Amino acid sequence: MQAAALLERIAPPAERRVIIKRDGRAVSWDPERIARAIALAFYAVRHNNAPNPFSDDPAARYGLDEHDYAEALRITGMVVNNVDLRFHRGDNPTVEQVQDIVEIMIAGAGHFDVAKSYVLYRAKKSEARIHKHEENGISDYIAVSKYARYREDLGRRELWPEAVARVFEMHRERFRALLGQPVPELGATVGELIDQAEREVIARRALPSMRSLQFGGKPIEVNNARMYNCCFGHIDHPRRFAEATWLLLSGTGVGFSVQKHHVAKLPPLPLRKSADDLPVAHFTIPDSIEGWADAVDQLIMSYYRGAYVEFDYSKIRPKGSVLRTSGGRAPGHLPLKKALEKMRAVLDQAAGRKLRPIEAYDIIMHAASAVISGGIRRSATIALFSADDDEMTNAKTGEWFVTNPHRQFSNNSAVLVRREASREQFQALFDAIKQFGEPGFYFTENPEYGANPCVEIGLMPALTVDEPTLAKLRALGYDAPLSVGDTVSGWQHCNLSTINGRECRTPEAFYDLCRVASVIGTLQAAYTDLGYLGPVTKVINEREALLGVSICGIMDSPAVLLDPAVLRQGADIAKATNAALARAIGINRAARVTCVKPEGTASLLLGTASGIHPHHAKRYFRRVQAARTEAVYQFFRKHNPHMTEVYGMKADTTDVITFTIEAPEGAITKKDISATKFLEIVKLVQENWVKPGTALEDYNPGLLHNVSNTVVVRPSEWGAVADYIWENRDCFTGISILPASGDKDYPQAPLEEVATSQDIARWNALKYNPVDYSALSEAADYTTFKDVVACAGGQCELA
């Protein structure tokens, strides 16, 4: 007796011959469905994937000739025998298992092209069955793990509404005397505008400065620099090194110029005696960020005074001690000690002459290394340098990661004055980016202008003194020689706020959020007590009172947010809102109001694509690294173990969470646009959102905010991209450029498209189980705000 006949005789009755569907239902086994699927795969191969008019007509052999149809039925019989054998064993196979058998049998019969066609057919059918995840959990996880502060009274971290309430209570306290002040143009009082903004942030339709979420309350009240995401200064005075250190310790992203004409303003270092002949000065470093910054200043000034400074680190708290004001844990003294000794080595080499730009750059990078490697804060930096400075141009070539690893903490860009730069200069930098990734280029109208590390904010950290400015500086305690017409420099800051582009489904919704984000930014602009930086910095910041109203998720709502008329109207609303509220609270209106920032982490909070960038794909996996011992991660893993796995690159300490992201209907994805098309969109937004958001050019003509962007370039696109950037350089300031790479080229990529049947199966398995973070109890403060980078530029598109 043949095996098939035997199986038929001993197989279970029909009511027990069932297949398990994907949703768990049991359905009767129907071999005719298998025959149809195999026949359709044969037809697709024989007719080059042309539409099949007989796809539902078995009487017409599903469009096949007799030979192919007979072969399809023969393979169907093989599949039926295999499945019947499983029934005989008492198994009820799943749909996926049956489909696997079909693939194997077609290939086993030698029809590899038909097997491939069946795989594609199967993937297409699976696409139609992909699960719709109502919630993915990423927003709440990011909020609690990255921005929530520890509440000792509750024994846990804040929930999102509590974190937002902390920020807006700070604003109410600051403006307590003005809460009842009417703002007629906005139809509300100051207090009512604060209340409305708070509601919108709780709903995640808008966001304040992300630094205000981390440090809102006492940390910002004692140090207003913590409000600001970014700043920029010229390294033209010995004091700038200490100030840059203080800013980094405050959590602010630092842009700085080491252009030749700025560094040339530093006084020359005197010739230095041998160490044995130098008088010794002693400095006990206070246990504060001011103390660390003062230590840098003492070291720098010791070289001008002809002394050797010895540092006493005994007052600095041991590593791991709780930082009660700013949150987190103390790094101990070693990061600072190592940095100071490396700075000392740079200064020893420069004795008897002026510092070179690369030496000034290295000193700041050693400070950044102490701040970042010490685990205190993660704040990005950008160094702007003269285009003809060969040392800075080559700062990150050769074995620099071994010989000068501190340089990893900055992005470096050559300054190109638009009216003076040549195509050859630009092309040389562009080619270096293609080959090495750096240095970048920075287009500007004036070499005195600069930017934050993400290059979305136009900043000018100097001013020419007039009579009112002189009087104000004197009133603030500036006692150095100064006359009308002199130029003084410091640091200029910009606070940021964000509109959730995904919520902008109509122009009216967008306009409402323009008002809200402008209100938030205007409140933030009033925090100008930057005592460590001195009176000049205070005057610079109060004079232009900059805002940075950004849009996150422009590509989520392109019908609205890529409409030039809508963008211009939104910019006008943001400017008008700022002007009205600024008058009410007694500050200057902002000179520049609108921008687009990278929005890397903010996009995870809002559930959007980042900034102006397209979604990675219609559906994709977003992976987030987590320290295995971190309490929030452990709590998340307890509820969602299926979403976590060991991170292969750091298997001893780190895990990775895989979240599911689905772009909204109508959103633009990476596959939808070329590199030059993306740059056209950047230009459109710059021309219709950013430029119209410029309110005043009285002080710094031609200085604009910008659209921070990272363009991904395919191998065939490099020439066209270079041409487009150069021809439209009036519309660009800085551009991060990355070569295209496949998201499946290496395991556990941060972003990975859902493209294969295996991906779909993984996607469907990643059902998020809601986590109640109010039940997460912690005995002490283990928050680590260093995990969120302030002003990280193109890095935001990578992590």
Is residue 309 within 8 A of residue 299, CB to CB? The reply is: yes
State residue 622 phi and psi, 5-degree precision: -115, 115
**Taking residues 122-132, what's their average pLDDT?**
73
- DSSP H helices, 57-108, are 66-88, 95-108
Q: Give the SS3 label for residue 397.
A: coil
> Does the pLDDT of residue 498 top 50, yes or no?
yes
pLDDT at 327: 58
Q: 224-238, 463-477, 606-620, 740-754: lowest mean pLDDT where? A: 740-754
In single-letter form, the type of residue at position 128 comes to A
pLDDT at 791: 52
Task: Report strand pairing: 497-500 vs 549-552.
Answer: parallel
The beta strand positions in 509-593, using DSSP E, are: 549-552
Rounded Cα–Cα distance for residues 309 and 282 (Å): 6
At 578-598, the pLDDT tens digits run 999 999 999 999 999 999 999
* C-alpha closest to that of 437 among 216, 6, 772, 739: 739
Q: Give the SS3 label for residue 320.
A: coil
Rounded Cα–Cα distance for residues 540 and 463 (Å): 7
Average pLDDT, the chain: 92
State residue 741 phi and psi, 5-degree precision: -145, 155
**Taking residues 760-776, what's their average pLDDT?**
94
Is residue 356 within 8 A of residue 350, CB to CB? The reply is: yes
At 379-429, the pLDDT tens digits run 689 999 999 999 999 999 999 999 999 999 999 999 999 999 999 999 999
Residue with tokens 């002026």: 354
pLDDT at 275: 82
pLDDT at 8: 55
Q: What is the DSSP string of 427-442?
A: HHHHHHHHHHS--EEE
Contacts of 375 (CB under 8 A, 6+ apart): 329, 331, 784, 786
Q: Give the SS3 label for residue 113.
A: helix
> Does the pLDDT of residue 474 top 90, yes or no?
yes
Q: 231-240, 291-300, 698-707, 774-783: lowest mean pLDDT where? A: 774-783
Q: Which residues pair with 417 in a beta bridge?
A: 444
State residue 531 phi and psi, 5-degree precision: -50, -40
**Taking residues 774-789, what's their average pLDDT?**
70
Tokens read off for 404: 């000068």
| 204 Ramachandran zone, left/alpha/beta (phi>0; psi -120 to 50) | left
> Does the pLDDT of residue 475 top 80, yes or no?
yes
pLDDT at 380: 86
pLDDT at 313: 95
**Taking residues 468-491, what's their average pLDDT?**
96
Is residue 453 within 8 A of residue 229, CB to CB? The reply is: no
Tokens read off for 678: 């993306």
Q: Give the SS3 label for residue 771.
A: coil
The beta strand positions in 562-690, using DSSP E, are: 619-627, 644-646, 654-662
pLDDT at 589: 98
Is residue 633 within 8 A of residue 646, CB to CB? The reply is: no
State residue 415 phi and psi, 5-degree precision: -85, 125
At 38-95, the pLDDT tens digits run 999 899 888 888 889 998 999 999 999 999 999 999 999 999 998 888 888 888 888 8
pLDDT at 11: 58
Q: What is the DSSP string of 276-307?
A: GGSPEEEEEPPSSHHHHHHHHHHHHHHHHHT-
**Taking residues 364-375, what's their average pLDDT?**
84
Rounded Cα–Cα distance for residues 18 and 99 (Å): 15
> Does the pLDDT of residue 794 top 70, yes or no?
no
Domains of the chain: 3-128 (no CATH), 138-222+493-615+666-797 (no CATH), 230-451 (3.30.1620.10)
Rounded Cα–Cα distance for residues 457 and 232 (Å): 9
Range picked from 106-110, 119-123, 317-321, 731-735 for highest mean pLDDT: 731-735
Range 486-519 burial, b when 16+ CB lie within 10 A, else e: eebbbbbbbbbbbbbbbbbeebebbbbbbbbbbb
**Taking residues 139-152, what's their average pLDDT?**
93
State residue 373 phi and psi, 5-degree precision: -65, -30
pLDDT at 591: 98
Rounded Cα–Cα distance for residues 288 and 182 (Å): 41
Q: How many Cα atoms sit within 13 Å of 336 on the Cβ side?
A: 34
The CA–CA distances, whole Å, from 134 to 35, 126, 627, 661, 765 equal 36, 19, 27, 11, 13
Is residue 694 within 8 A of residue 593, CB to CB? The reply is: yes
Contacts of 614 (CB under 8 A, 6+ apart): 555, 667, 668, 669, 670, 672, 673, 678
Please report, rounded to a whole number, the percentage of residues in the chain having pLDDT higher than 70: 93
Handedness of CA 334, 340, 342, 344 (dihedral sign): negative
Is residue 243 within 8 A of residue 233, CB to CB? The reply is: yes
pLDDT at 107: 86
pLDDT at 126: 64
Q: How many CB atoms lie within 10 A of CB 709?
A: 26
pLDDT at 158: 95
Range 100-118 burial, b when 16+ CB lie within 10 A, else e: ebbbebbbebebeebbbbb
Question: From the CA atom positions of the chain, what is the Rg in Å?
Answer: 31
* CA angle centred on 217, ends 214 and 221, rounded to 5°: 110
Is residue 83 within 8 A of residue 71, CB to CB? The reply is: no
pLDDT band (50, 70, 90) for residue 3: very low
Q: 173-177, 538-542, 650-654, 742-746: lowest mean pLDDT where? A: 742-746
Rounded Cα–Cα distance for residues 442 and 440 (Å): 7
* C-alpha closest to that of 530 among 497, 494, 560: 494
* C-alpha closest to that of 379 among 799, 793, 797: 793
> Does the pLDDT of residue 789 top 80, yes or no?
no
pLDDT at 795: 41
Tokens read off for 273: 């005696």
